[in-house]
Amino acid sequence: MSALLSETIDDSTVALWNHDLQPQSAAERTRWVLEEFRGHAVLSTSFGVQAAVMLHLVTRIDPQIPVVFIDTGYLFPETYQFAQTLAERLELNLKIYNPVVTAARQEALYGKLWEQGVEGLEKYGRLNKVEPMNRALRELGARVWMTGLRRDHASTREELPVLKRQNRVLKVHPIVDWSDRHVYEYLKEHDLPYHPLWEQGYVSVGDTHSTTRFADGMRPEDTRFSGLKRECGLHEQSGEPEYMI
């Protein structure tokens, strides 16, 4: 598996890489990507429930990789505290991006978008997640975007491959085939913490208004966006970006 940075990466190349990477371990996948695209990869994190896994896995191979954190302004206090703790412990090269339109201005102009059905949620996602992430990718010169998405997170991710083109950026999911058990064992082995709200019954943590505790009869994906959506726009094909890899 090899490609020059000057080459255009087409779907057939991505398919070949997926074939080769699928049987490999998460660490092997991560190492290959970081060597192949040295200096052109970023890692995104929401500092969610199991965020410490990817942060540790990737930065022990490349301690200087830019770690993009989208701060919507609507996060739980515990999330900000968790982010600070992990950033200091793992010595992250943290890059914090905020929406161009502030939370106060958004609410004044559009009201509470998260209370306006799917259309409102999609607009909220574009303003608060998609635009800042695309700006980060452009400014950091990223051709590869690494994330901690897993197939068992939601029905929308059941067919997720290790590598995927999202428009013109290569998305990489090193732990895509991990289970919650794999995550638990990794966190335990490396003495890494879950998000503090995990102990309060949260299985997924995002913005305060779009996150609820897990309850009997719910699917984990039902705890986000009142079950209306699973994806915030970042991991949908419509989430841009439009520049070449």
Beta strands at 93-97 and 66-70: parallel, antiparallel or unpaired: parallel
Q: Could you say which of 42, 87, 169, 232 is catalytic?
A: 232
Q: Which two tokens stand for residue 70?
A: 């989208």
Distance set, CA 171 to CA 49, 201, 212, 244 (Å)? 21, 30, 28, 13
How does DSSP classify residue 161?
-
**150 SS3 class:** coil
Quick check: 200 and 213 in contact, CB under 8 A? Answer: yes
End-to-end CA distance of the chain: 17
Q: Which two tokens stand for residue 62?
A: 């490349």
* Distance in angstroms (rounded) separating the CA atoms of residues 225 and 223: 7
Whether residue 232 lies in the annotated active site:
yes
* Distance in angstroms (rounded) separating the CA atoms of residues 134 and 116: 24
- Catalytic positions, written as ranges: 232
